[in-house]
Amino acid sequence: MHQPIAMATNMKTWNLYTLVFLFNLFLSSSHAAFSPNNTCDNTPYPAFCRTTLPSQYLPIHDQCHFFLQQSLSITKTIFKMVSSYLKDNYTIPGSTVHALEDCLNLTELNIDYLFNVLHAIGKIVTSDQVYDLQTLLSAILTNQQTCLDGFNEVTPYPRVTSALSSPLSDSIKLYSISLALFTRGWVSDATTGRLTTVEIITNRQLLQTSVDNVVVTQRVVVNPDGSGDFTTINDAVHAAPNNTGISNGYHVIYVVAGIYNEYVSIPKSKQNLMLVGDGINRTVLTGGHSVDDGWTTFQSATFAVVGKGFVAVNITFRNTAGSSKHQAVAVRNGADMSTFYKCSFEGYQDTLYVHSLRQFYKNCDIYGTVDFIFGNAAAVFQDCNMYPRLPMQNQFNAITAQGRMDPNQNTGISIQNCCMKAARDLGDATSNYNGIKTYLGRPWKKYSRTVYMQSLIDGLIDPKGWTEWSGDFALSTLYYAEFANWGPGSNVANRVTWQGYHLIDEKDANDFTVNKFIQGDRWLPKTGVPFKAGLH
């Protein structure tokens, strides 16, 4: 029987490393500062912050370093606990095993991210590095919340859930405090210009219109008839080189036209991978996992990617579970600096899971019903088509369900120069879209953030624009905004009057562009994918 772990931060179980660390901090801190630091008051968990922090007199950078160390410690403990359950899983229901597997994978990512942040935190010299680390800290919170969400989807198994509840809850608080302190201590310096910004010289208009002009280290072919290098996508991914970094050119996997019944997962070790097909509805990757069939939402994905720098071009990703099976993901994307170009995503509820980190979608088609673009990445959609389709009886459509859970996360969904039109099965204005209400989005988490700008919004969108998740949940803390949209559904006269809803001007809209929101000027040019960096 596993017992809930005792927090190392409860002032009773300090380890030797922590004591040495604190002693060194005490020696290095200015003895002239005798007033306590009130930074805990500016975190989402001020009481937990104050009782955990050994001294209120530490400078904010040292406070952040301390909480990051505590975060790493508890994350390692959670990883060991989850691993032990999975080794003894013959007594655990299968659905709970799926949730544990999700948690193990996400916790392993968090350990890597925390190591990276701790390694870099004392060497930050540019604002670009600050935004990279803020992105990782935001993803750590998202990963842990996904772990918790997975357990909420399955039948409770007390031996597991009761033991994990305390460390999972404490880890969320530690991650949130770390992010808040980092935001106050470093991000504020970056945004006010007190850190150096590296100038990136790039064409801010549309770049080349193909992906031919990219650096390629190797190119392999997938063809089921045996005439290529591989007969399955999974075999080609498995054979791709590991840990190549993202500055050494792409490993290109060309997938010839055909229907591929595979569940493909690209792990963190496969970096700078480019998957190129023969076109939408010609190269098709398809599967049918769903929550109704015992998978978690996280595991239901037909295609999942974590490897940094991933690019997909000319491919259809499909989940065929149908509207009756509820959550059924076509693509789950947790890859930083990832790009999908001229791709199609087909499903019903939860089609495209923009899970975490920075993402860009260009000239893509997304089909779905309930919350069909959801997650907590910093994701920009440019020149894409969103096609709400016919849902189950008594359901409505919501294009987005953004999952920002913390006010300091640099995440959200930005939809620019896109088109919101009804899929063929939903009908048209003459049929009143079969009586189905369709909304721009609803708040999955407390600080949900979504912006529509310079886009065509057709008449299928309900005049109120947005809809509630549950009662008044998140209506004052979310951030939903519209800017310079057009079309029959863009009339804002009858929009919701929530505190968190905004009609924004060009200055505010600029914060959600490729350049500002996902720092795309730094990494999109090498993909060969065309993009517009700003509003014009």
SS3 305: strand
Tokens of 448: 């949900």
Q: What is the pLDDT of residue 95?
A: 81
Q: What is the CA radius of gyration of the chain?
A: 23
% residues pLDDT > 70 (the chain): 88
478-518 pLDDT per residue, tens:
999 999 999 999 999 999 999 999 999 999 999 999 999 99
Residue owning tokens 């007594």: 91
Q: What is the pLDDT of residue 56?
A: 77
What's the pLDDT band for 8 if we cut at 50, 70, 90? very low
d(CA 274, CA 296): 27
412-461 pLDDT per residue, tens:
999 999 999 999 999 999 999 999 999 999 999 999 999 999 999 999 99
pTM of the predicted structure, to 2 decimals: 0.90
> Residue 348: which of 375, 376, 319 has the closest Cα?
319
Number of residues assigned to the chain = 536
Query: Phi and psi (nearest 5°) for 111?
Result: -60, -45
256-277 pLDDT per residue, tens:
999 999 999 999 999 999 999 9
What's the pLDDT band for 28 if we cut at 50, 70, 90? very low
176-226 pLDDT per residue, tens:
999 999 999 888 765 555 555 444 333 333 233 345 678 999 999 999 999
Of 157-166, 189-198, 301-310, 427-436, the least confident: 189-198
Q: What is the pLDDT of residue 202?
A: 35
Q: What is the pLDDT of residue 443?
A: 98
Q: The dihedral of CA 333, 335, 337, 342: what is its sign?
A: negative
Contact 135, 116 (CB under 8 A): no
d(CA 274, CA 251): 6
Mean pLDDT of 349-355: 98
- The residue type at 424: R
Tokens of 265: 């997962």
64 half-sphere exposure, CB direction, 13 A CA radius = 25
pLDDT greater at residue 19 or residue 483? 483
Q: What is the pLDDT of residue 357?
A: 98
Active site residues: 371
Of 91-95, 406-410, 479-483, the least confident: 91-95
What's the pLDDT band for 4 if we cut at 50, 70, 90? very low
pLDDT at 11 over 50: no
Roughly how many angstroms between the first and final C-alpha of the chain, as a whole number?
Answer: 60
Q: What is the pLDDT of residue 33?
A: 43
Q: What is the pLDDT of residue 195?
A: 53
Mean residue pLDDT of the chain comes to 89
128-148 pLDDT per residue, tens:
899 999 999 999 999 999 999
Q: What is the pLDDT of residue 349?
A: 97
Q: What is the pLDDT of residue 30?
A: 45
Tokens of 458: 């057709």
SS3 175: helix
d(CA 474, CA 501): 11
Contact 270, 312 (CB under 8 A): no
Q: Please give the helix or strand (H or E) that residue 56 lies within, else none.
A: none
d(CA 399, CA 467): 11
Q: Please give the helix or strand (H or E) that residue 304 lies within, else none.
A: strand 303-305
